[in-house]
Amino acid sequence: MHLPGPFAIGTPETNGVRSAFESMILSASGWRAVFAADGDEQSRTQAVSGELLVIVALAARCYAESLPTESIGTPVVAVGCDTRPTGPLIVGAAVRALASMSVSARLCGVCASPEIMAYAASSAEIAGFFYVTASHNPIGHNGLKMGGEDGGVYDQTRIAAMIARLTELVDDPVMLDWASDALRAGPGDAERLIYDAHGRAKRAAIEEYTRSARETAVGPGPRASDAFAALTHALRSVTAGVVVDMNGSARASSIDVDFLRSCGLRVHAFNDTPGLIAHQIVPEGAGLEPCRSELTRIAGVHDGYEIGYTPDNDGDRGNLVVYDAVAREAVAIDAQTVFALVCVAELSWLVTTGALPVPGSDDRVRAAIVANGPTSLRIDRIADAFGVEVHRAEVGEANVVNRARELRSRGALVRILGEGSNGGNITHPAAVRDPLQTVLSALKLLHGSATDSTPAPATVWFSAIGATIPDPLSLSGIIRSMPRFTTTSSFESRAIMSIGNASHARLKRTFEAALPAEFALLRPRLHDELGVETYAITNYEGTRERPGPGHRTGDETGGLKVTLLDSHDSARGFLWMRGSGTEPVFRIMVDVEGDRPALEEYLLDRLRAMVTAAAS
């Protein structure tokens, strides 16, 4: 990563900066906008407008002000970016602004988000991270993600305070002059040292990420180390392989190939030049097709290749494709199924490692899964098989991570958490999604073996559901054994609406008022197909579930769920809605038990009509 010279920007006008600021979407998930100077969200230009660079400098100032003040000496933060073309320029503006605030940086350059977060969490000198990414958004977008020394993104409360501060700064002519003067100035000695040490910082980040990834994969339990060593031996013995479509992402410069090989796997990686983004960034639908096609080809030539993954651009999630030996082709796995598979795998692994009792035994350990509001109810059925609780939080990685921390503080074992609707999983002690853990979780279920006193993970799962282990055991067979639900994908066009400038608070109040009459029309079909008798409304804010209509605070932009209940108050499905915190869209979805695509489509159409009416 090259040291930038003076930034060629003019004198910022308050109106221009304010207009650029208003184009941004600000949330705990990131501060995002179309950063490409030509305004095209599919643009591959490296150029960024002067107004947005000024906002980056002001955002870096907000971040510097948020750092702990009790530390002695110059604060140090990790800085990096994904592989979008605008990334280096944004990093340069941020580093210059941080240096102007007497904050030093460890410049990791292009790095995966789990990499920089692991580095921040494991290094005693680092107070947090400032990461440039727009995750799964189109290539012309970019954004900022900030977090603390624990390696987790800042929570909603802290981010809200920083957004309020940034809003003040963009309207302050003195601060606009400060930002533009800092950017126009050439690099100082402190900034030169930061860039000179870039290679050392990147190597340190790789080292810490490798260590923490192995610790995370092994997990808790008295037999965990032995069980993981046996898994690595088994993977080598069967010459298991994984196909990776890097899609030019930050993972192409991270630990993936070396780490997976150290776990006993053969690795076939392609599209593995950082920055050469070959196709759609979102790893769903068309974004998984190149990996699916390549796994089909490789598995037809080499035995042992059973799984593949494609990450998003910052590499904090990667959805899966698995090879079906009967059909002789690979199959893409949707995001909700991937998360459910990981829940099955990690709960089973906890039994094998001795961290959880065998399901059905008299021993008890309080354990939980934490997920976001729109995660499918299939994880509730999986949790029931293990005697494990399910807790939900508002959409957003920080909300799920902080809910899990709350539960751990009260003595619960929370190994697996995440956002089933968005793909990927967070495996404790990590505080971010990671496709390496997703892949290893699936392989634990397939190749993990029994210990001297605990059953193999596959034996645990099939015994828990009262089924016989299929012969031969395969990932396709395991997926077929899981609870079946029909769920709208968060990223398909059917799930995406525009509500213009409609107030979320008013929309939800209008929706709730119209719901009883609408449910009366839906009830006959819901009763016939699912046994549904009634419904319950839940609102999500931060780490909290708020039951009942109208139980919302603030701007009321959190998720709203209508859970469909049978005569035993058992959930058989749900309707869900929420405005995106990272894109200018309003998402809706439906989750229903069983293989019922016609019912899912019908309910989604009705939900869309209700939201449209409420928005108008």
- Cβ 268 vs Cβ 242: under 8 Å: yes
Angle between helices 189-196 and 87-100 (to 10 degrees): 130
User: Position of tokens 């100032």?
Assistant: 61
Task: Locate 270 and state its tokens.
Answer: 């392609």
- Cβ 413 vs Cβ 220: under 8 Å: yes
CA-CA-CA-CA torsion sign (568, 573, 574, 580): positive
How many Å apart are CA 46 and CA 457, to the nearest integer?
48
**Helices (DSSP H) in 67-86: which residue ranges?**
none
* Domain 14-207 belongs in CATH node 3.40.120.10: yes
Q: Give the pLDDT score at 397.
A: 87
Residues whose CB falls within 8 Å of the CB of residue 245, separated by 6 or more in sequence, listed in order: 269, 270, 271, 290, 291, 294, 308, 309, 310
Q: List Cα–Cα distances, 237 to 240, 440, 463, in angstroms.
A: 8, 16, 26
| CA 300 centroid distance within chain | 32
Taking residue 363's Cβ as centre, other Cβ atoms within 10 Å add up to 9
Q: Which residues of the chain form CATH 3.30.310? A: 493-615
Q: Which residues pair with 536 in a beta bridge?
A: 563
Q: Give the pLDDT score at 72.
A: 57
Composition of the chain by helix, strand, coil, percent to 5:
45, 20, 35
**Residue 557 corresponds to which amino acid?**
T
Fold of 223-483: Alpha-D-Glucose-1,6-Bisphosphate; Chain A, domain 3 (3.40.120)
Decide the pairing of beta strands 241-245 and 305-311: parallel
- Cβ 559 vs Cβ 394: under 8 Å: yes
How many Å apart are CA 180 and CA 163, to the nearest integer?
20
- Cβ 314 vs Cβ 110: under 8 Å: no
- Cβ 118 vs Cβ 213: under 8 Å: yes
Taking residue 250's Cβ as centre, other Cβ atoms within 10 Å add up to 32
Which residue ranges in the chain fall short of pLDDT 70? 70-72, 581-583
Q: Give the pLDDT score at 585.
A: 84
Nearest to residue 221, comparing CAs of 459, 428, 400? 428
Residues whose CB falls within 8 Å of the CB of residue 226, separated by 6 or more in sequence, listed in order: 451
- Counted residue by residue, the chain has a size of 616
Q: Where are the beta strands (DSSP E) in 482-531?
A: 485-487, 496-497
Q: Which residues of the chain form CATH 3.40.120.10? A: 14-207, 223-483
How many Å apart are CA 572 and CA 377, to the nearest integer?
8
Q: Give the pLDDT score at 14.
A: 76
Task: Locate 451 and state its tokens.
Answer: 């210990």
Q: Identify the burial level of 601 via C-beta atoms within 10 angstroms of its C-beta, where 0-12 means exposed, 13-18 middle and 19 or more buried.
A: middle
Fold of 493-615: TATA-Binding Protein (3.30.310)
Taking residue 129's Cβ as centre, other Cβ atoms within 10 Å add up to 30
Residues whose CB falls within 8 Å of the CB of residue 539, separated by 6 or more in sequence, listed in order: 545, 546, 547, 548, 551, 552, 558, 559, 560, 561
pTM: 0.94
Q: Give the pLDDT score at 582.
A: 66
